[in-house]
Structure 1
Amino acid sequence: MTTTSPHTPEALDARRWPDVARVPGGPLRALAARAVTGYAAAHAGVRVHTGPEAPEPGRTPAAADDAPVLWLRDPDAFHRRLAADGLIGFGESYMAGEWDSPDPVALLTRLAQDYENLVPRPLQPLRHITLPRRPPSDRNTRAGARRHISHHYDLSNELFSVFLDRTMTYSSGLFADGEPRDMPTLARAQERKIDRLLDGAGVSEGARLLEIGTGWGELAIRAARRGARVTTVTLSAEQRDLARERVADAGVADRVEVALRDYRDVEGSYDAVVSVEMVEAVGERYWPVYFAALDRLVRPGGRVALQSITMEHGLMRASRGSYTWMHKYVFPGGLIPSVTAVEEQLRARTSLAVVDRLSFGHDYADTLRLWREAFSESADRVRELGFDDTFRRMWFFYLAYCEAGFRSGIIDVEQIIMERAR
């Protein structure tokens, strides 16, 4: 039995968002979820506020005045979703407007910091039994990879332009110590990030560079301005089209080829290969193919520069088979690797050796904050582009959720420079 959430946004299209429009049944399981919510809130130092009116600061003596707030507008629907679908239900409940927070990032950060202890210890083994498992459609076959990339990156170039900086770079910037962390500075941080990767890969005049994962072309443009000849591949038609425009506008079209091509189908030998936050979309099943391709495509003595979001190895292993809210709504088919997993693939599949590493997860947290703020300020423009309020809440939750992951340290981002044996 299902019911319609009373707090579902008016603009919600039940055909577009069927699992957000429906609230699962199961009142007995919801009682258990209510108990777990109370346990988790007390354990993490979160203040729970119930009711249609916004919470006032410091009104609950059971928690510190600065405690992050979980505001349950519709506690019954929230607990039903949590009982039925775990963290998928948690995200869908936010999309439906059933819960909120005066500071969602602070709330999600606090929960992430104590993630492993939010469920009573006797119930923790049940996580692996009750969590949804990945469906076969989540695999990144060639057709699956095209579908998954299109799901996210072909939404609209205009959508991404409302919250990205002028470089249209959709990965972490690298800030310098002491500089302001605002949107104008983010553009310089993105250029610094790209230049560090190109330097690490030894990209200079006359170099033959392969980029796996084009984005919207900024890295290819900066490499071409160094005098490199660049082949860059993507599975997103929207990205390819805008990247070609930006390459032409930059005056480097004679040195850059932008191709709609799977990395598995790339041929040739290059002096350097660069891949920025692409490996997370590959999927564990295809890591051997991906890392073997890096090794195959770079010449002996050449370098590979990889930028990847990472997580602790034990957490990666524990979550590798889980189907999450992020898979369902944002990034189907992906898995964030650990540094250990990357090193295992390098040893088993390649002649590549790591020569340099840099982690800068705190910079990703600030990059995401700037994106989130720009996205929120552009709500009217997002609606003009045809995206409804449910999508807007989904995208805000995605950005806040990721920011909290980096602020809590549960995930990180690394630049890993590798060299192929001569």
Structure 2
Amino acid sequence: MPTVEPRAVARHRAGGPRTLPADAERWPDAAAVPRASWPVRAVTEAVVGRALRRLPLRVRFADGTTLGPGGPLIEVRDPKAFHARIGTRGLIGFGESYMAGEWDAPDLVGALTVLAAHAADLIPPRLQRLRGAWAQRQPDAQRNTPDGSRTNISRHYDLSNDLFALFLDETLTYSSAVFRGFPADWSLLAAAQHRKIDRLLELAGVGGGTRLLEIGTGWGELALRAAARGAHVTSLTLSKEQRELALERVREAGYADRVAIELCDYREARGTYDAVVSVEMIEAVGVEFWPVYFHTLDERLTPGGRVALQAITMPHERMLAARDTYTWIQKYVFPGGLIPSTTAIEQAVRDHTGLAVAARDGFGAHYAETLRLWRERFTGQADEVAALGFDATFGRLWSFYLAYSEAGFRSGYLDVQQYLFTKENPAR
């Protein structure tokens, strides 16, 4: 384990410019720069320099040195800290260096899109083969056991309903919208979210009298629209904050007799339903529990029923490389999370259920646009975020998270799918 030194001391040693102070109690790994030995720094500088020289970027260091043939600008304000973090913590260190203000980019999404597009070849093949020796492993504390899932979900979704309301539209929908065209305007986001929800409800065949199970409530918009169609909805969530607000919205809409929102793990669900819908919840399940998750979808569905699933996906070979690695997103945003591939989803359905894949539709460009609107809204309300008690390091963390996610979809590294799974009715 590398030792660390306070950032003020690290800046003095490096002779670098002043960067952002981080609260050492709240952000210990952003507030302190890891001590990296000379060989580690030298190898890191060589590997990072090799990668940056080949990419369509322009990287400017504090001493005026530049790398890259041209493209979006990355400004490295504290090169010693930047290389020390990457050398000791890899991509986690890259994100922490941004949180600490040691590097920045006028067009952050543009710069991250270039990096995402070349994610598979940033590290030389010989070093990639040694990944298991240097990459951090996911901590056991973030395993998505029933208790672990409650803790993991709470760390993100129980931050503050008011925080999410600052950058989500009035539907409070925290998943990809479906637009009619690009570029999209903020005023069109709520309608685009309803379009997405309605597509899922149509896929699942939800109408009057349908018994619907929703796994992952969010703030209740899908349950409300299903109830408006005459469905009877049981919705499951592990977030106390989300449940409280979703129940309030259900009561205000007059659907308390049609919508039940339970603080319940998907593994604890009971009963059978005509349809099941789950929107961008599989990413929080973890590879270890994907078989259980899909078996639950099957077990809770009546013969002849339909499952509509929305899932973020990544290429299968990248998923295999990442599934045991601890990432910046897991450390700071979605503990225990892992994005599946379409191959992994379809293998789990085939191997652990009696369901059939009836349809699949990808629309990653729509997620990039959704994230752009969220990011612009979030960064434009820094004072409001601060007024809720979130500090400047949190603001940089979340700006990076939203930009990093948008870049994943703009580069094609990430996609989002809507699936329809069906269950044969042997009685017919």
In the TM superposition, 1:12-411 aligns within 5 A as 12-28=22-38, 29-51=40-62, 63-64=69-70, 67-176=71-180, 178=181, 180-411=183-414
Q: CA deviation at 1:43?
A: 1.5
Q: 1:255 to 1:139 in 2, by over 3 A?
A: same
Q: Name the stretch that deviates more: 231-240 or 179-188.
A: 179-188
AA in 1 matched with 2:127: L
- State the Cα deviation string for residues 341-372 of structure 1 (Å, max 9, x = none): 11111111111111111100000001001000
Contact in 2 for aligned 1:105/1:403 (Cα 8 Å): yes
Contact in 1 for aligned 2:205/2:275 (Cα 8 Å): yes
Q: Select which of 3, 6, 14 maps to 1:4.
A: 6
Runs of 4+ in 1 over 6 A off after TM superposition: none
Q: CA deviation at 1:226?
A: 0.2
Q: CA deviation at 1:45?
A: 2.1
Q: CA deviation at 1:390?
A: 0.5
Cα distance in structure 1, aligned partners of 2:203 and 2:36? 55
Cα distance in structure 2, aligned partners of 1:391 and 1:97? 12
> What 5-or-longer segments of structure 1 have no aligned partner?
none
Q: 1:61 to 1:322 in 2, by over 3 A?
A: closer
- State the Cα deviation string for residues 313-358 of structure 1 (Å, max 9, x = none): 1111111100000110000111111111111111111111111111
Cα distance in structure 2, aligned partners of 1:4 and 1:48? 26
Q: CA deviation at 1:61?
A: 9.1
Q: CA deviation at 1:180?
A: 4.8
Contact in 1 for aligned 2:308/2:418 (Cα 8 Å): yes
Q: CA deviation at 1:121?
A: 3.1
Q: Name the stretch that deviates more: 111-120 or 217-226.
A: 111-120
- State the Cα deviation string for residues 245-303 of structure 1 (Å, max 9, x = none): 11111121111001100111110010000000000100011111100000000100000
Cα distance in structure 2, aligned partners of 1:62 and 1:247? 54
AA in 1 matched with 2:20: P
Contact in 1 for aligned 2:365/2:409 (Cα 8 Å): yes
Contact in 2 for aligned 1:43/1:118 (Cα 8 Å): no
AA in 2 matched with 1:137: A
AA in 1 matched with 2:305: G
Contact in 2 for aligned 1:171/1:277 (Cα 8 Å): yes
Q: 1:316 to 1:42 in 2, by over 3 A?
A: same
Q: 1:144 to 1:197 in 2, by over 3 A?
A: same
Q: CA deviation at 1:60?
A: 6.1
Provide the secondary structure at the position in 1 that maps to 2:257: helix
Identity of aligned residues (%): 57
Q: CA deviation at 1:68?
A: 1.3
> What 5-or-longer segments of structure 2 have no aligned partner?
12-17
AA in 2 matched with 1:75: P
Cα distance in structure 2, aligned partners of 1:36 and 1:61? 13
Provide the secondary structure at the position in 2 that maps to 1:271: strand
Contact in 2 for aligned 1:8/1:21 (Cα 8 Å): no
Cα distance in structure 2, aligned partners of 1:101 and 1:4? 24
AA in 2 matched with 1:72: V
Please report the TM-score for the alignment, with normalisation by the length of structure 1.
0.95
Cα distance in structure 2, aligned partners of 1:61 and 1:211? 50
Q: CA deviation at 1:127?
A: 2.3
Provide the secondary structure at the position in 2 that maps to 1:387: coil
AA in 2 matched with 1:63: P
Contact in 1 for aligned 2:52/2:68 (Cα 8 Å): no
Cα distance in structure 1, aligned partners of 2:47 and 2:81? 15
Provide the secondary structure at the position in 2 that maps to 1:254: coil
Q: CA deviation at 1:96?
A: 0.4
Cα distance in structure 1, aligned partners of 2:343 and 2:123? 27
Cα distance in structure 1, aligned partners of 2:150 and 2:97? 29
Provide the secondary structure at the position in 2 that maps to 1:230: strand
Q: CA deviation at 1:201?
A: 0.2
RMSD of aligned alpha carbons: 1.5
